[in-house]
Amino acid sequence: MAQHTHMPLRRLGTSGLSVGAVGMGVMPLSIGGRPDEAAALATIHAAAEAGITFYDTADSYCLDHTDIGHNERLLAKALKDHPEALIATKGGHIRPDGSWKVDGRPDYLRAACEASLKALGQEAITLYQFHRPDPQVPFAESLGALADLQREGKIVHIGLSNVSVIQLEAARSIAKIVSVQNRMNIFDRSSIDVLKRCEELDIAFLPYSPLNGRGRAGQIGEHEAISRIAAAHEASPQQVALAWLLQLSPLVIPIPGASRSASIQNSAAAYRVQLSAEEVATLDAFATV
């Protein structure tokens, strides 16, 4: 939708790169219940038309080990004519039987990065994120593998996902970190300390599940106060939830997931909603974590 194409930009930490204030989490297009390829490509194209330039993916966004890289290949196909798009991928999760397991071994991460390069059709991955720390592998060894890949020119920038402040500090002693991707939304503030440290360090914070996904607090639109604020702004409850995140910090770039064009077009317009201090305080009171 043309009216969304003037989405403001936000800096991706100290990377020197800027992307649209709202990104897209592309996982729903590749896991169970995914749409067919034509519909998936149409959803990504709708995101691009709405001004989204940051796309979050991972090799493990797929059905199982036979499907590894599905989401990356989909994005590469959809965005081949969009040089402004930044595709950020991740390594460290595996899908042996369709379940989610971790593998932070350096040899595995190297092989995963090589496979992602092939799936994306790129010579270097602009932002490669360590998907989740592996309790069986020293964190420094996992990060060391990414630092080696960066020195070899296969990764441009390194990011982290699902980390604590202590892990962020440990990673910073090994490599320059430009982004952290943790769960964050109106109901779940469990990573607020990580966001505060990111602000001190000028590191981008990429909230995943910004609309609460399958969270225990229920759907965003089921809460009367959120719906009331949305009505006052002629916006959707989802746009209000994203606006709250955008106003938390200028370093926040939320990445709402979508499996339909209408959903991502709605999310992309969230930057238009400017919440008052009173509305922010009302939304702040929803925290459950």
| 237, part of any domain | no
Higher per-residue confidence, 287 vs 30: 30
| 283, part of any domain | no
pTM higher than the cut 0.85: yes
Q: Check pLDDT > 70 for residue 3.
A: no
| 233, part of any domain | no
Look at residue 287 in the predicted model and tell me its pLDDT.
86
C-alpha to C-alpha distance for 6 and 263, rounded to whole angstroms = 18
Q: Check pLDDT > 90 for residue 244.
A: yes
| 196, part of any domain | yes
| 287, part of any domain | no
How many CA atoms lie less than 13 Å away from 19 in the CB half-sphere? 30
Number of domains comprising the chain: 1
Look at residue 215 in the predicted model and tell me its pLDDT.
60
Look at residue 4 in the predicted model and tell me its pLDDT.
42
The residue type at 67 = D
| 12, part of any domain | yes
Query: Mean pLDDT throughout 73-99?
Result: 97
Higher per-residue confidence, 221 vs 77: 77
pLDDT tens digits, residue range 112-166? 999 999 999 999 999 999 999 999 999 999 999 999 999 999 999 999 999 999 9
| 150, part of any domain | yes
C-alpha to C-alpha distance for 28 and 19, rounded to whole angstroms = 21
Look at residue 164 in the predicted model and tell me its pLDDT.
98
| 74, part of any domain | yes
Contact yes or no for 46/29 (Cβ under 8 A): no
If you ran DSSP here, which 8-state letter would residue 140 be given? H
Query: Mean pLDDT throughout 37-54?
Result: 98
Look at residue 218 in the predicted model and tell me its pLDDT.
66
Determine how β-strand 9-11 pairs with β-strand 18-20.
antiparallel
CATH of residue 150: 3.20.20.100
Length of the chain: 289
Active-site residue set: 61
pLDDT tens digits, residue range 165-205? 999 999 999 999 999 999 999 999 999 999 999 999 999 99
Full domain range(s) for residue 134: 2-218+251-269
